Amino acid sequence: MNILCGNSCLFAYLCRNKMKKRYKSFSGRLTRSVVLTVLVTMTIISVFVFLLAASGIYMLTKTHFADLTDKTNGSIAMMMSKVEVSAENIMDELAWHLSSPELVSSTLEYELNTNRHLFGCGIGFVPGYFPEEGRWFEPYAVFEGDRVTCKWIGSEKHDYLHAEWFLEGIQSPDGIWSNPYLDADGAGTILCTFARQVREPGGQVVGVFGADISLEGLSALIEELDRKENDGSDPAILWTGEESNIYSFIIGPDGKYIVHPDKERILKGTFFDYADSKERADYRKLGEEMLAGHRGNELVTMDGIRSIVFYAPLQHSGWSMGIAVPTKVLIAPGFAYGFLILFLILIGLLIVFLISRHRIKKATSPLIRLAASAEEVAEGHFDTKLPDIRTQDEIRLLRDSFDHMQKSLSNYIQVLTETTAQKASMENELAVARNIQMSMLPMTWPAFPDRPDLDIYGSVTPARAVGGDLFDFLIRNGKLFFCIGDVSGKGIPASLVMSVVSSLFRTLSESEDSPSRIVTSLNTALSARNESLMFVTLFVGALDLVTGELLYTNAGHNAPIVIRDGHPVLLEADANVPLGVVGDWDYSLQRTALPPGSVLFLYTDGLTEATREGGELFGEERVLEVLSAHGNILTSREFVTQMTEAVSAFVGDSEQSDDLTMMVVKLSRG
């Protein structure tokens, strides 16, 4: 009570001084708290909205350029498909005009005039098809201004028979697109040719037809699309004041540029030759994906500008097209939107601050009167009259709570005093119970006999105030009767069963020589009235101190360890069932011989199941290691001490989870 009164005075002093110090700034602190909360909340929201907006715009922009890639791809594919269709129609016509070189030339001129989307077209015939024309005959029709002319350009100097378009076209009945090449003798520019077999009406392959498009025309188509993406409506230009530098390019199956804004790169080196040394890994991955004919996008640095490249394969050609989009094009609108939101939030916070300051100051004014009454209550005047607060809000609830506190605090102090007394009484009773329980076990040194032929020692360490482990022994007619057991559960219930078993063992061992009959009698007694369904594991032995013969019966307990000649091994012991489980169980009797100098180490599962942090168990292997380290040179007490120290070092600061009991029986060497 003196302590409680002292604490009440201290509480009153602190409350009185703190109330005086905090009163004037409470509304200000509350206002700052509200504004700070709103600021943090709105900052989180603004960051979220900013990221959401940036992400949304980023994804929309990526979708736009992915669609643009498909659109550009489709435009090029449409142009190339138109060439393929024209080639098919021209070849159908040519098949019926292969009777003379002049007829072939005039047909090519006519067809090129009809299909003005072609840059040129021609046929490379197999060697000697027209004997009068020699080995090489390649008529080629091309526009010169607005007029179509047909040239015969095949010659030893212009050996088309080894050209890529001829070698691959002669093998392709459906046609193939060649890589770009410079046709100096025919078109006088860089061409891409759709090449396909030419067959006579009878089916004989007589040459390769080629329908050409110029690389300049293909570049012009793509540059026109790029100009539309780089006009003044680009968000990146509006917010950064710089051009967005969006451009498209095409690479062939060998990695060479076919189309690129920098004309110096076309057909000179490969895509990988222009990689920045710091970005070579990104470049290589992008190039490999494009050459593999895949579709997607990659983040790389293109010509010193961090960009996302959208890429897709061009149909039928083996080429791959990419559009390089600087990342600023994707993120600039998101930043602008985020800054706008931030500005609006700052304006809103200023308004919230002004309104909150006024409202909070007015709402907290009733607390002044309640604070004065709280000082009186804190000083121990529980009958102090509290102010009348008319508002139906949390301040009224606080006033009612103080009123309830006044009425219940006195009762609480009285109950606390009674509870403290009851707890002290219970702790005293548990201490008495522990002393009684320990007195039933041979735990003190005088309880262990001082004999030349026998050294015996044991210990019990309960996990709680009282426990359920037991060990006991007595010597009668030159024989040592001993037991060790473990009652299921812990605490007071286990200790009561342990006391019964210990008393019954000592009573039965006074007149019974057979361990199996002792165990059977114990089992019958425990099973008769076992409504609580508790059971006991027990090992009982009878050792002839003259002959060293050991008779024993095990009832579900851990098998003891025998040390002979310094080597510990587990004693072979039948498991049987614990006591109190099956009332009519027939317990087996076993026997073995313990020569002079042997040691019998008995223990409960609190030893092997000692657990350290992380859940690792002490286990039988560590028990055997500790016993092996000392052979049989220690006394029985030293064996128990060494094992206790080993377990303590293993578990460290972990709480003991089960009762720990050990007993050592050591025979002298004679």
Predicted pLDDT of residue 199: 86
Predicted pLDDT of residue 258: 80
User: Average pLDDT of 205-225?
Assistant: 81
The secondary element (H helix, E strand) that includes residue 568 is strand 567-570
Number of neighbouring beta carbons within 10 Å of residue 147: 8
Q: What is the DSSP letter of 560?
A: P
Q: Are 295 and 313 in contact (CB under 8 A)?
A: yes
Predicted pLDDT of residue 366: 73
Q: Are 314 and 79 in contact (CB under 8 A)?
A: no
Q: Are 577 and 586 in contact (CB under 8 A)?
A: no
**Lowest-confidence region among 96-100, 213-217, 541-545:** 213-217
Inter-helix orientation angle 515-528/491-509, to 10°: 140
CA distance 443 to 47: 70
Show Cβ contacts of residue 546 under 8 Å, excluding neighbours closer than 6 positions: 478
CA distance 408 to 12: 18
Predicted pLDDT of residue 229: 60
User: Average pLDDT of 265-275?
Assistant: 77
Amino acid at 27: S
Judged against a pLDDT cut of 50, whether residue 238 lies above it is answered with no
Judged against a pLDDT cut of 60, whether residue 3 lies above it is answered with no
Higher pLDDT, 134 or 594: 594
CA distance 168 to 197: 9
User: Average pLDDT of 270-279?
Assistant: 70
Predicted pLDDT of residue 406: 67
Are 25-352 and 440-667 the same fold in CATH? no
Burial of residue 220, with CB atoms counted within 10 A of its CB: 0-12 exposed, 13-18 middle, 19 or more buried = exposed
Predicted pLDDT of residue 436: 56
Higher pLDDT, 635 or 59: 635
Predicted pLDDT of residue 438: 57
Judged against a pLDDT cut of 70, whether residue 272 lies above it is answered with yes
User: Average pLDDT of 116-123?
Assistant: 86
* Beta strand spans in 115-155 (E): 120-125, 139-144, 147-152
Using the Cα atoms of residue 335, residue 336, residue 337 and residue 341 in order, give the sign of their dihedral.
positive
Question: What average pLDDT does the chain have?
Answer: 80
Predicted pLDDT of residue 230: 60
Q: Are 612 and 600 in contact (CB under 8 A)?
A: no
Inter-helix orientation angle 2-22/367-378, to 10°: 160
Write the CA distances from 586 to 505, 518, 529, integer angstroms.
Answer: 18, 12, 19
Number of H helices, E strands in the chain: 15, 22
CA distance 473 to 542: 10
CA distance 507 to 525: 13
**Lowest-confidence region among 251-260, 326-335, 340-349, 598-607:** 326-335
Predicted confidence band of residue 549 (pLDDT cuts 50, 70, 90): very high
User: Average pLDDT of 318-335?
Assistant: 78
pTM of the predicted protein model: 0.43
CA distance 434 to 481: 25
Amino acid at 331: I
User: Average pLDDT of 286-294?
Assistant: 84
Show Cβ contacts of residue 135 under 8 Å, excluding neighbours closer than 6 positions: 127, 128, 156
Higher pLDDT, 516 or 107: 516
Amino acid at 389: I
Write the CA distances from 249 to 246, 317, 320, 401, integer angstroms.
Answer: 10, 15, 9, 77
pLDDT tens digits for range 341-354 = 777 878 887 887 78
Q: Are 364 and 26 in contact (CB under 8 A)?
A: yes
Q: b/e for 98-123, b at 16 or more Cβ within 10 A?
A: beebeebbebbbbbbeebeebbbbbb
* Beta strand spans in 163-280 (E): 176-177, 181-183, 189-199, 205-214, 247-251, 257-259
The secondary element (H helix, E strand) that includes residue 296 is strand 296-302
The per-residue DSSP string of 514-527 comes to -HHHHHHHHHHHHH
Judged against a pLDDT cut of 80, whether residue 492 lies above it is answered with no
**Lowest-confidence region among 150-159, 240-249, 382-391, 409-418:** 240-249
pLDDT tens digits for range 72-85 = 777 777 888 888 88
pLDDT tens digits for range 610-646 = 999 888 999 999 999 999 988 778 899 999 999 999 9
Most confident of 298-302, 327-331, 619-623: 619-623
Q: Are 519 and 540 in contact (CB under 8 A)?
A: yes
Higher pLDDT, 523 or 223: 523
Percent of the chain residues topping a pLDDT of 70: 83
List the structure tokens of 9: 């005075």
Judged against a pLDDT cut of 70, whether residue 483 lies above it is answered with yes
Q: Are 490 and 464 in contact (CB under 8 A)?
A: yes
Q: What is the DSSP letter of 241?
A: S
pLDDT tens digits for range 175-200 = 888 888 777 766 677 788 889 888 88
CA distance 469 to 464: 11
Predicted confidence band of residue 434 (pLDDT cuts 50, 70, 90): low
Higher pLDDT, 263 or 471: 471
Write the CA distances from 329 to 35, 50, 311, 340, integer angstroms.
Answer: 36, 16, 17, 18
Smallest CA-to-CA distance from 88 within 205, 203, 194 is with: 194
Judged against a pLDDT cut of 50, whether residue 159 lies above it is answered with yes
pLDDT tens digits for range 582-595 = 888 999 999 999 99
Predicted pLDDT of residue 25: 55
Judged against a pLDDT cut of 90, whether residue 419 lies above it is answered with no
- Looking at domain 25-352, its CATH class is alpha beta
Judged against a pLDDT cut of 80, whether residue 441 lies above it is answered with no
CA distance 441 to 428: 21
What topology does CATH give the domain 440-667?
Phosphatase 2c; domain 1 (3.60.40)
Q: Where are the domains of the chain?
A: 25-352, 440-667
Predicted confidence band of residue 118 (pLDDT cuts 50, 70, 90): confident
Predicted pLDDT of residue 164: 85
User: Average pLDDT of 284-298?
Assistant: 84
